[in-house]
């Protein structure tokens, strides 16, 4: 049970950093929507979704899933408040995964430092923090709504193609679930996560 709680704590820290980064980037670019909604904070309570942040990750840990994942409450962003909506979407979209990779790198440094005994709860926390952040960073770069990669793609595509992708957003969750069941995690995500994690631990 203690390891479950440690894993959930690592997951909550990762999603809090991810969502804060979205809110901070939007605020710096002129959109105060997230700040007005109380999301410009690292306080996990502001970002927790009861099912996606607590229940699902706990079940996955109990079931010995090789990856713990879930979701937080989406950070509200109003592209109309950006001086350049496309650049604003690009930067805010990149901010979340980038925060995860930075946090993963920091966790990897601690894991490699030898400061904590392998097998101990503190070591397990930072090892979990490393893995969870890499998974969140990689997974969110998939260019399918509602993931961050879709906003990044919308920002760089020609206008007509971007509009088509934006309209397809309503079907994004269905497409994503279908791809996951088709083996997206095993064939694409896991190898990338393994490669990034291995690189950080060199």
Runs of H (alpha helix) within the chain: 2-28, 33-36, 56-62, 85-113, 121-139, 148-156, 159-167, 172-181, 184, 190-200
Which of 14, 19, 129, 140 does the annotation list as catalytic? 19
Q: Is 86 a residue of the active site?
A: no
Across 69-94, b (16+ Cβ under 10 Å) vs e yields: bbbbbebebebeebeebbebbbbbbb
How far, in Å, CA of 37 to CA of 14, rounded?
Answer: 20
Residues taking part in catalysis: 19
């Amino acid at each position: 049970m203690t390891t479950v709680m440690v894993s959930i704590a690592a997951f909550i820290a990762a999603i809090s950093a991810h969502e804060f980064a979205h809110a901070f980037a939007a605020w710096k670019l002129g959109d105060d929507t997230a700040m007005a909604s109380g999301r410009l904070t690292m306080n996990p309570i502001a970002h927790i979704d009861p099912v996606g942040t607590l229940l699902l990750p706990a079940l996955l840990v109990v079931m010995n899933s090789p990856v713990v994942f879930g979701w937080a409450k989406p950070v509200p962003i109003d592209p109309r408040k950006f001086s350049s909506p496309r650049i604003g979407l690009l930067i805010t979209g990149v901010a979340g995964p980038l925060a995860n990779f930075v946090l993963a790198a920091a966790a990897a440094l601690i894991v490699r430092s030898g400061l904590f005994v392998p097998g101990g709860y503190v070591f397990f926390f930072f090892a979990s923090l490393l893995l969870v952040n890499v998974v969140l960073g990689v997974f969110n770069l998939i260019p399918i709504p509602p993931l961050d990669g879709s906003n990044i793609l919308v920002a760089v595509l020609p206008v007509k193609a971007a509009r088509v992708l934006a309209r397809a957003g309503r079907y994004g969750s269905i497409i994503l679930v279908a791809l996951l069941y088709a083996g997206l995690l095993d064939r694409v995500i896991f190898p990338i996560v393994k490669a990034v994690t291995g690189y950080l631990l060199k």
